[in-house]
Amino acid sequence: MKRTVIMMLDSFGVGAAKDAADFGDIGADTFGHIAKACAEGKANEGREGPLKLPNLAKLGLAHAGKESTGSFAAGFGDDIEVIGAYGHADELSSGKDTPSGHWEMAGVPVLYEWGYFSDHTNSFPQELTDKILARAGLSGYLGNCHASGTAILEQLGEEHMQSGLPIFYTSADSVFQIACHEETFGLEKLYELCIIAREELEPYNIGRVIARPFVGTGASDFARTGNRRDYAVEPPAKTVLDKLKEAGGEVVSVGKIADIYAHCGITKKVKASGLEALFDATLEQVKLAGDRTIVFTNFVDFDSHYGHRRDIAGYARALEYFDSRLPEILAILGEDDLLLLTADHGCDPTWQGTDHTRERVPVLAYGAGLTAGSLGLRNSFADIGQSIAKYFELEPMAYGESFVA
């Protein structure tokens, strides 16, 4: 029985990409800088001491980090028995955003430029917002700027609740985000507004519209909920997910994977929010999965809760929790199953600003007859998609080189 389990640690980069200078990210290293902070005692909130990731290290994470940056991350070394195949990958796609990273790892790099709203204030054209408001029957909006998703709730959440006006904001990514209170504005009304925005944004080549619902009574207790929804454009070509589906296989999306691929190539969608629930759902779906199935999970909290919020200790805690549960996955894999752990970009919590960082990503592979040891530098995330295509004996992808024989 052949099954592939993809565990995507959202934003967990392992050092600056070869073109990091083009993005202002020379020196960024999500894994390395978190480990360094932990080793220096600067991440002792809810945890203590050096970063402890014994199971990820056994799969080759520390060695992948060393190959990417030239040295082991603080607290890691050669005294690790590596049982997995490990590598690190540069990105071909033009951006450091979520859709580009995900589509490329499924074999379809984004070789065109996304549209962006680059002005940090008055970010959106009035012509665009006028059309959205007219179709939605709204008198106005708040925001219209680059912002952190949590900071903008503190700034504008109460005014939003009082006025009933949605909060529009963006970031360095190709994205249009709308934050609204689940109870005072309404969840379905927010989703409908996002669909309108998605349609009006077509001429602007924006990758995603994101619904950002939140709850709470005031600035001190506002919190985003698990009812986020992403409205993405479709990938520009068939991904390996599409090819497996067309060949009669199953593709199970856990978390926001289906949204990122605009629901293309997905046969089953499982909703879950939070690291624990996402891991639980992944375990359950692997146990249920039959032959020729991909179970694909995005562990978004690494990015949304800790990377963007520049929370080093929180990121470290989340990594250690994830690591502690890896044996549960390993215990239920068959000898022919393929486990893949990777990331879609970086989001170094020690870096300036609150945006993603252009980094290489780890490529950790276990099972399917792979020999433990180095896979070296992969020139594209698409090597993952090509390897999955080879594994399932599908038509080859147009990009990438397989590391599966």
* Tens-digit pLDDT profile for residues 263-314: 999 999 999 999 999 999 999 999 999 999 999 999 999 999 999 999 999 9
Full DSSP string of 305-354: IIITTT-HHHHHHHHHHHHHHHHHHHHH--TT-EEEEE-SSB--TTSSSS
Pairing of β 338-342 and β 3-9: parallel
Judging by beta carbons within 10 Å of its beta carbon (0-12, 13-18, 19+), is residue 331 exposed, middle or buried? exposed
What does the pLDDT read at residue 179?
A: 98
User: How many whole angstroms separate alpha carbon 361 and alpha carbon 75?
Assistant: 20
Closest C-alpha to 240, from 400, 8, 404: 400
The alpha carbons of the chain give a radius of gyration, in whole angstroms, of 21
Report the percentage of the chain scoring pLDDT > 70: 100
Question: 382-391 and 98-105 are packed helices; what angle lies between their axes, rounded to 10 degrees?
Answer: 30
What does the pLDDT read at residue 173?
A: 87
Closest C-alpha to 282, from 218, 344, 224, 325: 325
Full DSSP string of 27-69: T--HHHHHHHHHHTT---SSS-SS---HHHHHHTHHHHHHHHH
Tell me the three-class secondary structure of 162-212, residue by residue: HHCCCEEEECCCCEEEEEEEHHHHHHHHHHHHHHHHHHHCHHHCCCEEEEE
Joined tokens for residue 393 = 């004996």
Residue 235: left if φ>0, alpha if ψ -120 to 50, beta else—which one? beta
Q: Centre a 10 Å sphere on the Cβ of residue 40 and count the other Cβ atoms it contains.
A: 11
β-bridge mates for residue 175, sequence order: 208
pTM: 0.91
What does the pLDDT read at residue 308?
A: 93
Taking residues 318-324, report their average pLDDT. 98
Residues 6+ apart with CB under 8 A from 335: 367
What does the pLDDT read at residue 214?
A: 97
β-bridge mates for residue 374, sequence order: 86
User: How many whole angstroms separate alpha carbon 5 and alpha carbon 295?
Assistant: 5
Do the Cβ atoms of 296 and 253 come closer than 8 Å?
yes
Report the percentage of the chain scoring pLDDT > 90: 96
User: How many whole angstroms separate alpha carbon 272 and alpha carbon 326?
Assistant: 18
Q: Taking 90 as the threshold, does the pLDDT of residue 382 lie above it? A: yes
What does the pLDDT read at residue 148?
A: 87
Do the Cβ atoms of 361 and 35 come closer than 8 Å?
no
pLDDT in tens, 212-268: 999 999 999 999 998 999 999 999 999 999 999 999 999 999 999 999 999 999 999
> What residue type is assigned to position 174 of the chain?
S
Joined tokens for residue 208 = 């995603």
Q: Taking 90 as the threshold, does the pLDDT of residue 150 lie above it? A: no
What does the pLDDT read at residue 49?
A: 98
Per the document, the length of the chain is 405
Do the Cβ atoms of 10 and 308 come closer than 8 Å?
no
Joined tokens for residue 370 = 């792979």
Give the strands of the sheet with 361-367, arranged side by side. 268-270, 250-254, 293-299, 3-9, 338-342, 361-367, 85-89, 373-378
**Confidence category of residue 16, pLDDT binned at 50, 70, 90:** very high
